[in-house]
Each structure stands twice: as C-alpha cells, then as structure tokens.
Amino acid sequence: MSGRHTGEQHSHTVEGTDPRLYVGVHDPADDAGLRPVLLLHGFSSSAKLNWEDTGWIMALTQAGRRVITVDLPGHGRSGSPEDRDSYSPSRIRADLLQIAFDAGARPLRDGDPASGLDVIGYSLGARLAWEFGATQHELVHRLVLGGPNVADPLADFDLVAAQRYLADGTPIADASTAGLLKMAQLLPSNNIFALLSLVEAIKDEPFDAAEAVPPMPMLLVAGEQDERAASMPELAKLGARAGSMVEQLILPGRNHTNAVTSRAFKQGAISFLAV
Amino acid sequence: MSNSILESTSGESTAMSADKPVSVTVMSMQQALNRALDEVLAENPKAVIFGEDCGRLGGVFRITDGLQARHGAQRVFDTPLAESGILGMSVGLAMAGFHPIPEVQFDGFAYPAINQIVCQIARMNYRSRGTMPMPITLRVPSFGGIRAPEHHGESLEALFAHVPGLKVVSPSNPHEAYHLLKYAATRPDPVIFMEPKSRYWQKGEVDFAADGDAPTGSKVMREGRHLTLVAWGAMVSRCLQVAELAAEDGIDIEVLDLRWLKPIDAAGLAASVRKTRRAVVVHEAPLTSGLGAEVAQLITQSCFDTLKAPVERVTGFDVPYPSGDLEDEYIPNIDRILFGIQRVLEYKRG
Amino acid sequence: MAEISFPLPDLGEGLIEATVLEWLVSPGEQVERNQPLVEVETTKSAVELPSPQAGKVVRIHGGPGDKINVGEPLIVFEVPDNTAGIVGTVPKEEAPKRRVRLSAVLDED
C-alpha cells in the first residue's frame, strides 16, 4: 500500500485551544484525480480501528482516492483536552473544516472533479458528517453515512450512573448506558474520562437530524441486524424533502459492529463517490 | 543420525552408489542448512534459534522453515527488528549456558549490531579469563547476486576477520553448508557463518556421513597444475566455471575453497600454491583492505621463492555495493577473473 | 511447489479467537501480498486481514460464523519452491559466457 500516515497534527487552532487532533493523510499510488475523502469514525473507536484495520483505507487508496483520517478528541492518537468545549460537536465540526482545508480540500467548483470533499462517517461519525454536510454545502460533494442514527443514543446516556459505576462499581440500570460504557472500556487506548466529556458535550448539543439537512447526495448504509436500519427511511425522507438524492443500502446478516468491514459497504461507497 | 541419511523429504532425491553403502542426497543449500539446524536443535538441548522472521515465517530465505513447529516457540522464535537486541540477547543467553544461533537477516543489518559483536561477543571470553565463553553461531545471509536493494549484498568478512575473538566461515555449496554449519554450531567460540545467499537455491549432492572430510581448513574443489584460484562463498562456483573455460585454453587451474576466513588455512594455501606457483584471489568485497590482501601476503610469505608472478586480486570495486541493476558490473565476472589469470600467466620478471 | 500455512494472527488486546464473517478469496485463487483475505469479528471489533504472502490459495479454514482460535490454521498457500523470500530474486543458472581467451607459453620448469 502506498498510502502513508503523515501523522501531521493540523497546524491551525480554531477558537483558541488546540484539541491536538491526530490527522492522517493517505495518498493513492495512482491518483484518480477526484476530491479527497474524509473519514469520521464512531464513538469509542479510532481511525485505525474503524478505517485502517477494516480495510477501508486500502480499498479507497486502491480506488485512487486520497484519504484524510482524523481521530476524534479523546480517541485513538488524538489528545484528551481538559476543557469540555473541545468535545462539543460544533467545535469538532469547526476543527474538521480546518483539517480538511489544511489537507488540501478546496470548495466545490463546477466541472472540477478534484474540488470539494467527500465524507464517510460511521455511527457518531455519521452524525458529524450529516451536520458537516448540512453546514458546509460549498465544500461537501457527497456523503456516505454508515450505521446512521436518527437521534443520538449518547444523548440519553446516564452520565451520573456511569460516573458512579466508575467510582465504586454501582450497577447501571439503563441498558443502553451500560452497553456504551462497556464498549468504551473494552479498548485500553480509550481515555474513559475524555469519552465521558464527549458524552456530556453531546448532551448539550443533541443530534437533531431535522434541524439542518444536508442538500448533497447521500448514501445511507446499515447492517440488516442493526436497529438503525429500521430508522434509515426517516433520514432518507428528511433528505429527500431537502432536495437531496438519497440511496439506501442494507447489508444482509450484518450488525452495527461488523457492518464496517463489509465489502458491499466499501464497494457501494466507492462507486457512490466515484462521480 | 545414520537412519536419517536415507530419509528424503520432498524436493530431495537420494542416490545409492553400487559398491559402497554410502548415500548422497541432492538438495538445495536452503534445505541443507535447514537440515543442519534441525539436527543441531535435536542434538543440543541448549541450542536456540532466533532472529527477524525466523520463527513463524521460517526466515525470509526459509532456512528455519518448520523448525518452530518441530522444536517449539521456546527454542525457535521471532525477535523485534533490532539487531543490537538480537546480538545483545545472544550474549546474555550464552552467559546463561545456552548456545544461541541468531540470524541477522541480511549482511548490511549487521552494522547496527557491531557494538555487541565486537565489544561483547568477541571479547567476553578474554575479558572474563575464560569463565564466560560465547558459543554463538551468528548466521548472516551474505554477499550479493540477488538483485536486492542497498544493505542486502555486502561482504563483511574482512570486518569480522579483523576482530580478535571471532571465527568466520562461509560455505560454497550444499554439502559444505550442512557440514560447516553443524561444526560451527558445536564450537565453544563465536563463529560468524556467512551464507552466500545467491547460492541458496543451488542444488548439490550432500553426503551426510562424509567420513574423513574434516570441517576445518580450506578444501581443494578442483585440482590443477598451473594456477590456484582462491575463493570462498558464491565465488567458488564461479571460479570452478572459470577453471573449465581455462581448460579449453590448455590452462589447468586448481580451485581452493578457503572456507574458513578466520583463521585462514595458511598451510593449505601454501600446499596448493607451492604446486601451481601462481595464484589469483577472487572476492566480492571491495579491493582495498579486503581479505584478498591477507591471502596474498600469506602466499607470498610461504611461496615467495617459487612464485612465478605476484598474487593477483580480482575483487569488487572500492564503492558502496551498488543497486541490483549494476550488480553484474560489480561482482567479479568470468571475464574479469580470466583477465586476472592472464595477467599472472604473462608476468615476466625484471 | 511447497505449501505455506498461516494461522489466525494475534489480534492484540488479549483476544484469543475471532469469528469468520466473510472470505474474500477462495481456493485456487492467486493472491498478492497485502490483498484482503478475510473479514473476521472479535469481541471488540471487525477487521479485514491482509495476506502475508503472495501465492495460490490451497485451503481456507472456517466458513462464515465459525470461530477460529488465534494460532489455529486460517489459510494455506501454494508457493514455488524457489521463491526468493521478501527481498531480491532467485539468480538464474546460466551456462558460463566468456569473451576473454587465455594465451600463455607455460615453461614447465
């Protein structure tokens, strides 16, 4: 594989503090001449787990695409800032915009296939991609949203119960909260308190898909056994109402965890973005 | 081991000679080295093999193929990509009574381990007044000829031979590889075992018993009357080709496989050149301060009165080992060796 | 021809097994080094395993849904006996060629 981690930290700070986000740029051996693809991973994951180990970076670079990855704050190789503001979705979106420009993305121009930016997001990354597309329509060309939520499950996260559990082991009553915390604790690389800061910040800015809808073409993808597959038509309807062209792809036999590696997902995304 | 002589694994063929119950097996140098290591592990419970990709993969040249499966991951294992660590660990293991057989994956990767090799392995026995021998057999796939990038085609024999406390040996064919490695791996002192990687795939007859064939000193690979070609490693087979071509011109050449590059078999050199009275040394390493100079001096010392010409050297050039594309220009080729022979043949005194 | 077997590699994080999701190659197929071989899922994530080797696939172990322990056979390749390994190429054995002729009057004193 020719793509390499440059490991560059983006050099501009937005709104004061540096969130120390870890950015990777992967160049293809044979550049197809298309706009770069920004990959946004899910909660408690990382660019490596969500995109590299699953074969996405190799598949995209082999398709001639330049790939930009970023670890969300408190995840992967990014820093875990002390201030809660660094974790707010709006702040993260601002940082992503700066990262995309630093990595060479340029506003869309008619007739220039190298202009603009394609975004692929998974789970929490899909939420960020939805909002990013809705606010950056001069930049974003197309979106691929994997395992997308209509509402954010993190918004209902019982922070108090989680903190009590972490302090003295008191069991967590809410099954969703317990499940998310277990997932976050599985990876020793996760900074659990940074992840809880992210949850707190998300509770302040919960996802409202209808509030701002991306106008560009979207591919929605979910595993057949992922409950989000059932709510995908709602997102599709919102998109269609806003004038967006929306395609949906269901991956047979897959769930929210193992849909990520699916060849059908990768091939669907690559062909959807190859225009 | 007598039973194993007749065993033939895939790719090998066994031949029996009619008059003597001696068998030879045709195998590649890879297979011969692999067999030798397999037997060393079986015979010496203190022997351990390790290096980059030596364990699960079986080595990038398959020399340790299958050894981890047969002898366990305690005795055949992978190391991090850190040659100083590989050799440093060898020192510790040797102190603890083991017989380490480390591999440095390619010649050029020995440089990062030079401190361990020169300052620890070579000196520990001396430094400890004989209480800490270093029975380490360091395998180094060596020399050029496989179109590899930088650091994969170097000839380090002069560097190693210069270090007191080290022994250096290089086999030229599968039979030599088997016997020299088995012998090296029983030595109480550190031996640098330089495997000519361009000959790994060459097949040849291996006589596992080889009675009366001492694994020490040099070995006459072809007898001749007019001139001695001295070589080691991959250059031996090239010199044998040259000898056949020279025979077409009426020149009868003796080919001496030096085998041990430290200590050098001065008596063997003297015996051959006293007979032929002419000598050419061939090596891949650069000319200046190469081992050819040492060989020429030893010959001059013992044969000065009978030599018909100064000893010639046909060697690599005084440049960094070139990339694969230029390799054939660098390594002594048949014509350069023939030119060297011609210079000796036409030498006139006065 | 020789066969080389590769076990399920250590997937880190103390994981001891993985479940096959989908094979991306099949027996008889020629694969390149680093070509994706199989998708597997652990208790923590799903990963795509790249091929450690170029060669022809002889056998694959485990179908979708089957669990494989780390260290157990995953795939077997057929490779030529004389593959050069990772670096370099196998030198060709050629008949010796010469341009230089020797000429000497040997006084056999």
Q: Give the DSSP per-residue string, A16-37.
A: SS----BEEEE--SS--SPPPE
Least confident of A88-97, A181-190, B72-81: A181-190
CATH number at residue C31: 2.40.50.100
Residue C98 lies in a domain: no
Calpha distance C18→C45 (Å, rounded)? 10
Q: How many CB atoms lie within 10 A of CB C80?
A: 11
CATH number belonging to domain B4-207: 3.40.50.970
Q: Which residue in chain C is spatially nearest to A45 when comparing CA positions?
A: C45
Query: Does residue C76 sit in helix, strand or coil?
Result: strand
Q: Do C104 and B346 touch (CB under 8 A)?
A: yes
Strands C73-79 and C2-7: what pairing? Answer: antiparallel
**Spatial contact of C19 and C72, defined as CB atoms under 8 Å apart:** no
Tell me what pLDDT residue C82 has. 58
A53 has a chain C CB within 8 A of its CB: yes
Closest partner residue to A261 among C39, C50, C64, by Cβ? C39
Shortest alpha-carbon distance between residue C73 and chain B (Å): 12
Chain A residues near residue C48 by CB distance under 8 angstroms: 53-55, 261
In this predicted model, what pLDDT tens digit does every residue of A42-64 receive, in sequence order? 999 999 999 999 999 999 999 99
Question: At which residue do the structure tokens 């918004």 appear?
Answer: A155
Q: Do C88 and B345 touch (CB under 8 A)?
A: no
Strands C30-31 and C55-60: what pairing? Answer: antiparallel
Which pLDDT band, with edges at 50, 70 and 90, does A155 fall under?
confident
Maximal C-alpha separation, chain B: 66
Chain B residues near residue C5 by CB distance under 8 angstroms: none
Q: Residue A192 has which token pair?
A: 């659990």
Q: Do C39 and A258 touch (CB under 8 A)?
A: yes
Q: Residue A195 has which token pair?
A: 């992840």
Q: Do C50 and A55 touch (CB under 8 A)?
A: yes
Tell me what pLDDT residue C2 has. 74
Residue C91 lies in a domain: no
In this predicted model, what pLDDT tens digit does every residue of A158-171 receive, in sequence order? 999 999 998 888 99
Residue C67 lies in a domain: yes
* Cβ-Cβ contacts under 8 Å for B20 (sequence gap 6 or more): none
Phi and psi at residue A208, to the nearest 5°: -130, 100
Shortest alpha-carbon distance between residue C95 and chain A (Å): 39
Sheet with B203-206: strands ordered across: B13-16, B23-28, B203-206
Tally the domains of chain C: 1
Q: Do A261 and C47 touch (CB under 8 A)?
A: yes
- Intervals of CATH 3.40.50.920 along chain B: 219-345
Shortest alpha-carbon distance between residue B56 and chain C (Å): 9
Tell me what pLDDT residue B22 has. 55
Sheet with C67-69: strands ordered across: C46-50, C36-41, C17-23, C67-69
Q: Do A257 and C24 touch (CB under 8 A)?
A: no
In this predicted model, what pLDDT tens digit does every residue of A107-131 receive, in sequence order? 999 999 999 999 999 999 999 999 9
For chain A, the chains sharing at least 3 beta-carbon pairs closer than 8 angstroms are C
Identify the H or E element spanning B183.
helix B174-184
Q: Do B152 and C84 touch (CB under 8 A)?
A: no
B152 is catalytic: yes
Residue type for A3, please? G
Calpha distance A232→A51 (Å, rounded)? 22
**Spatial contact of A125 and A34, defined as CB atoms under 8 Å apart:** no
Chain C residues near residue B53 by CB distance under 8 angstroms: 86
Quick one: CA torsion of B212, B215, B221, B224, rounded to 10 degrees?
Answer: -70
Shortest alpha-carbon distance between residue A258 and chain C (Å): 5
Please give the average per-residue pLDDT across C63-72, as a whole number: 91
Residue C69 lies in a domain: yes
For chain B, the chains sharing at least 3 beta-carbon pairs closer than 8 angstroms are C
In this complex, whether B and A touch, counting 3 or more CB pairs under 8 angstroms, is no
Sheet with A140-146: strands ordered across: A23-26, A67-70, A37-40, A117-122, A140-146, A218-223, A246-251
**Spatial contact of B150 and B319, defined as CB atoms under 8 Å apart:** no
Identify the H or E element spanning B336.
helix B334-345
Residue C16 lies in a domain: yes
Tell me what pLDDT residue A158 has. 92
Calpha distance A56→B289 (Å, rounded)? 53
Q: Which of residues 38-67 of C touch A (CB under 8 A)?
A: 39, 41, 43-48, 50, 64
Calpha distance B302→B87 (Å, rounded)? 38
Q: Do B201 and C90 touch (CB under 8 A)?
A: yes
A260 has a chain C CB within 8 A of its CB: yes
Supply the ipTM of this predicted assembly: 0.76
Q: Do B242 and C96 touch (CB under 8 A)?
A: yes
Q: Do C88 and B197 touch (CB under 8 A)?
A: yes
Q: Which of B152, B179, B226, B283 is catalytic?
A: B152
Domain of C77 in residue numbering reads as 2-83
B197 has a chain C CB within 8 A of its CB: yes
Residue C34 lies in a domain: yes
pLDDT exceeds 60 at position A10? no
Phi and psi at residue A270, to the nearest 5°: -65, -45
Residue C52 lies in a domain: yes
Task: Say whether pTM exceeds 0.80.
Answer: no
Tell me what pLDDT residue B7 has. 32
**Spatial contact of B63 and B115, defined as CB atoms under 8 Å apart:** no
Classify residue B134 by burial, with Cβ atoms within 10 Å: 0-12, 13-18, 19+.
Answer: buried
The domain defined by B219-345 folds into Rossmann fold (3.40.50)
Q: Which residue in chain B is spatially nearest to C5 when comparing CA positions?
A: B57
C17 has a chain A CB within 8 A of its CB: no
Calpha distance A211→B266 (Å, rounded)? 91
In this predicted model, what pLDDT tens digit does every residue of C75-85 receive, in sequence order? 998 877 655 45
Q: DSSP labels for B197-266?
A: GGGTT-EEEE-SS-TT--SSS-EEEE--SSEEEEE-TTHHHHHHHHHHHHHHTT--EEEEE--EEES--H
Q: DSSP labels for A168-222?
A: H-PPPS-HHHHHHHHHHHH-TTS-HHHHHHHHHHHHHS---TTTS---S-EEEEE
Calpha distance B86→B166 (Å, rounded)? 17
Q: Measuring CA to CA, which residue among B93, B180, B102, B187 is closest to residue B138?
A: B102
**Helices B174-184 and B29-43 sit at what angle, rounded to 10 degrees?**
20
Q: Which residue in chain A is spatially nearest to C48 when comparing CA positions?
A: A54
Question: At which residue do the structure tokens 């157990």 appear?
Answer: C72
Residue C92 lies in a domain: no
Calpha distance B265→A235 (Å, rounded)? 84
* Cβ-Cβ contacts under 8 Å for A168 (sequence gap 6 or more): none
Closest partner residue to B146 among C2, C84, C98, by Cβ? C84
Q: Could you tell me which residues are beta bridge partners of residue A28? A: none
Identify the H or E element spanning A92.
helix A89-102
Classify residue B268 by burial, with Cβ atoms within 10 Å: 0-12, 13-18, 19+.
Answer: buried
Shortest alpha-carbon distance between residue A8 and chain C (Å): 25
* pLDDT tens by residue, chain B, 350 residues: 333 333 333 344 444 444 444 568 889 999 999 999 999 999 999 999 999 999 988 999 989 999 999 999 999 999 999 999 999 999 999 999 999 999 999 999 999 999 999 999 999 999 999 999 999 999 999 999 998 888 999 999 999 999 999 999 999 999 999 999 999 999 999 999 999 999 999 899 999 887 667 899 999 999 999 999 999 999 999 999 999 999 999 999 999 999 999 999 999 999 999 999 999 999 999 999 999 999 999 999 999 999 999 999 999 999 999 988 899 999 999 999 999 999 999 998 87
**Spatial contact of B313 and B287, defined as CB atoms under 8 Å apart:** yes
